[in-house]
A and B are shown apart, each in its own frame.
Chain A
Amino acid sequence: MKTKLMEIAEYALGELKTRGADGAALLVGEALGDSLQADYGETSLMSSSVGASISVKALIGGRRGNYATNGIDRESVDLAIAGALEAAEVSVPDEAEVIPEGFGDYDYDIGSTQGDPEKLFDCAQGFVDDCARDYPKIAVEKLGTNFSLNHSVYANSNGSRYYGRGGSYGFGASVVARDGDKVTTSSGFGFSAYDFDKPALSREYGRRVLSDCEKQLDPVPMSGKLVGKLLLSPECFDDVLDTALSLGVFDSAIIMGVSPWKDKIGEKVASDALTITCDPFDSRLIFPPRMGDGHILERQEVIKDGKLNSFLLSHYASLKTKLPRAKCTSCAIAKPGERSYLDILADIDDGLLLNSFTGGSPAPNGDFSFVARQSFRIRGGEICEAVNETMVSGNVFDMLRNIIGISRETVDDGCLMTWAAFEGITISGK
């Protein structure tokens, strides 16, 4: 497979150069997949797929064009080449449009080489059985298990030749709790794995999601308004952090100059307790990437002891702003604290445990107003009744300055986040 994809890449790069591109990069890949699905707790669907794709970026005098299609036969590849060249010809020059420097040859091989359909059945049925035994009020709304095998080649006109092969198992479930006519909002639990060698519910995270879902059957709307404290589950903290980083350190906010952190490199932007690193080499991560944005990834410190260490800029944004390029923009990891999340909870006299939220997009300055989901009232250091129709409002950048606790526990199923507690949040109901 590597040889076939490399040949396509060499052909495309050659054609692009011959036809006028002075720089080019492309990603070409093939994927095979098998999946099993259960609806309402019963196996219902088996599917298999064969896929191929190519995306081409062409530069002509600093003018960029992109074309993507999901075929890698000669006709599709020629169409992609012609389309990228046509798009580049009609664009305008931009000195930041440069093909990244070459890194030579790099192979990355991870995961299984072949899926086992029996494991898809066993993992799905095991989850349904475990749920029925341990969480009798949980109804499995939709459940999917899959195996996918992906081969991909990235190549550019500066000599980079990357081949990646990844074989991964995936699990995802959407569940609700039901009791007579009462039903809860949906909760989700999913993970990727090198192998389905242990039950889905061997993960503490999954059991917590199901247990919290069952406790949501009799939610109570908040009444009135208070300025209190929030304890965020690791998944929820990850979402809040994503929001802050997106508004504060990623390309758009920095290029457009609207980031509240645009002049804050080296300055304090968060509580001392917060250290965030993007580290694709952390051994706890499942299927960490090795290549992104045309570069082999490296460890990147973003926030260290509350100080902003780096923006997370792409190659393009780095050249555009003349600021350093990020060595990695994914695989965010929060440094654990010293206390357990239960100790942090015990210090919260009045507030909310937030497992999830939905809401409108936050403003560029970080102001937000969200609806609490799968959440509970905290009183006197204890988790009390489930809540619904409850809003939380604040500012994500202020939140990071008002951290009152980072847990020593982390969730290591895809994100490596801690529990985190904050003060000064407006919590309101009817």
Chain B
Amino acid sequence: MLQDLLSVYKPRLTGHTVLRAQRNFGRAVAIQSGNIVANTFSVGGGVSARVYDGGFWGIASDTTYDASAIEKALSDATRNAGLLRARLGEKSPPLPVAPSGKFATRSNENDAEQRAVMEFTRELDAYILKKYPNLAARVVSLQSNAVEKVTVSSDGADLYSILPRSVAYFSLCATAPDGMVVEYTDFEAKTGFIPECYPAPEALFPKIDEIYETLMKKCEGVFPEAGLRDVIIDSNLGGMLAHEAIGHPTEADLVRAGSIAGSNLGKAVASELISITDFANTAYGKTLPQNVLVDDEGTPARDVKIIQNGVLREFMHSRDTARHFNVEPTGNARAESFAAEPIVRMRNTAILPGKDKIEDMIASVDDGYFLAQTGNGSADLTSEFMFGVTMGYEIKKGKLGRAIRDTTVSGVAFDMLKTVTMVSDELTWHGGGTCGKFGQSMPVGMGGPSIKCKITMGGR
């Protein structure tokens, strides 16, 4: 457990100052067609100080975590902010106080031994090899990552937090009848260390069987027809849509940079069926994948109701952007590592469920596609987004048809979301996502129902 060496400095913190100690752990075993290509453990950590002075920030960090490094970080961060103020003159008054307090997230901290992770992963690989010997290639990996933090701030924040997650990853390749090598990748992510998440390999065998069966359908798949199409986006992808299409354009630092969302606050930007929230830590009585109680500026985290019934209501904020837009900070400032600057990031972003049944939604499509699985996505300030589709099916006259091969879909979120005519009544959460922004990678939670809309598909 990360030792709290920071609390004793609280009485000395003035203005707006935050001290953060953080350790990021990673454990992984990966087997590629029977070859062990990863058998690793890594830990990276240290301490940083962040000081605000006259509208400027100073940060200093050290990979050593002891009293001497903390003193030096405080001193250097204060010097850095002061240098900017002295050179450029005071730019802004002090930040308003954001009262905080003592918070803690706990977890079962029993991490697996490397031997157990190795044996577990080899059992998964042996299962695939024995049951599906004709595969062209296979990759299996089991990994756990944890972020452990101690944060104290001049506004009273005093946080201990540990957020572990474990991921079982599978990628299978087969040769299709047309001679093409087809790949299907899927993973299962859970909150916690490996022993808690995956007590036995057998529990993952059904997942492997499902991936294999999906791959076989994909081998028989056809290329989708390019163009604007009627689609049902499965709840597996709903979270990706919420994150990429709406989440990024409504991060307040991007709004300040010119995101198209900025001129649409208070306006209808989507069908009345669409509501989107960035949840801080819990939703519908459950703890979410990213359990953020206090952000990396020491601000208590609250839910941000981005879109309510189609109307754009609010943005996600750090202390800096909140002051710029004259609102309260929302606790969305997060940093990848102890040394990184906290920037506006999502936590657990979801489209809220509607009332439709998925069967009725599919039945309502005469000629279109059912998009079942994704691998990655991106978006920009114009709200133009894309995501890769790694599995899907044709829909013909209300029924699922042939599988389709890999494709990419795109659209302009504020146009596309107005085409939504049905939203399903289920909500699927994914905790295995990683989001990249300004060079920082951050674990995020994503959730969504299934959605019927029009979207531009790539294809032949």
What is A's interface to B at a CB cutoff of 8 Å? Answer: 37, 39-40, 42-53, 55, 64-71, 73, 83, 86-92, 94, 96, 117, 121, 139, 141-142, 174, 176, 178, 181, 183-186, 225, 252, 255-258, 320, 358-365, 367, 369-371, 373, 388-389, 391-393, 426, 428-430
Q: B216-242 interface mask toward A, CB cutoff 8 Å, 1 = contact, 0 = none?
A: 000000000011100000000000000
Q: B181-192 interface mask toward A, CB cutoff 8 Å, 1 = contact, 0 = none?
A: 111000000000
Find the A residue at minimum CB distance from B66.
A73
Residues of B within 8 A of A51 (CB): 46, 61-63, 339
Taken together as a complex, chains A and B put the C-alpha atoms of A79 and B236 apart, in Å, by 40
A359 contacts B408, C-beta separation under 8 Å:
yes
A46 contacts B458, C-beta separation under 8 Å:
no
Residues of B within 8 A of A174 (CB): 438
- Using known A-B contacts A90-B114, A92-B122, determine if residue A69 contacts B42 with beta carbons closer than 8 Å: yes
| Whole-angstrom distance between the Cβ of A107 and the nearest chain B Cβ | 25
A48 contacts B60, C-beta separation under 8 Å:
yes
Q: Which of B254-304 contact A (CB under 8 A)?
A: 254, 256-260, 263
B341 at the interface (CB under 8 A from A): yes
Q: B76-89 interface mask toward A, CB cutoff 8 Å, 1 = contact, 0 = none?
A: 11001101100110
A225 contacts B258, C-beta separation under 8 Å:
no
A426 contacts B460, C-beta separation under 8 Å:
yes
| Whole-angstrom distance between the Cβ of B26 and the nearest chain A Cβ | 9
- Using known A-B contacts A49-B62, A363-B405, A369-B407, determine if residue A183 contacts B381 with beta carbons closer than 8 Å: yes
Taken together as a complex, chains A and B put the C-alpha atoms of A388 and B412 apart, in Å, by 9
B384 at the interface (CB under 8 A from A): yes
B226 contacts A49, C-beta separation under 8 Å:
no
- Using known A-B contacts A70-B63, A369-B459, determine if residue A44 contacts B258 with beta carbons closer than 8 Å: no
Query: Looking at the complex, which one of A40, A43, A365, A388 makes contact with B257 (CB distance below 8 Å)?
Result: A40
B56 contacts A45, C-beta separation under 8 Å:
yes
- Using known A-B contacts A48-B60, A65-B39, determine if residue A183 contacts B259 with beta carbons closer than 8 Å: yes
Residues of B within 8 A of A360 (CB): 374-376, 387-390, 406-408
A-B pairs with lowest CB-CB distance, top 6: A360-B388, A369-B458, A47-B59, A256-B137, A428-B226, A90-B115
Find the A residue at minimum CB distance from B59.
A47
Find the B residue at minimum CB distance from A83.
B41
Taken together as a complex, chains A and B put the C-alpha atoms of A151 and B87 apart, in Å, by 31
B173 contacts A256, C-beta separation under 8 Å:
yes
B114 contacts A86, C-beta separation under 8 Å:
yes
27 A-B pairs within 8 Å (CB atoms) are namely A40-B257, A43-B56, A43-B88, A47-B59, A49-B62, A51-B63, A51-B339, A67-B40, A67-B41, A68-B40, A86-B115, A90-B114, A90-B115, A183-B259, A185-B381, A257-B136, A258-B137, A320-B35, A361-B375, A362-B406, A363-B183, A363-B405, A364-B182, A389-B456, A391-B410, A391-B456, A393-B460
Q: B85-127 interface mask toward A, CB cutoff 8 Å, 1 = contact, 0 = none?
A: 0011001000000000000000000000111001100100000
B36 at the interface (CB under 8 A from A): yes
B58 at the interface (CB under 8 A from A): yes
Taken together as a complex, chains A and B put the C-alpha atoms of A428 and B374 apart, in Å, by 21
Taken together as a complex, chains A and B put the C-alpha atoms of A87 and B119 apart, in Å, by 12
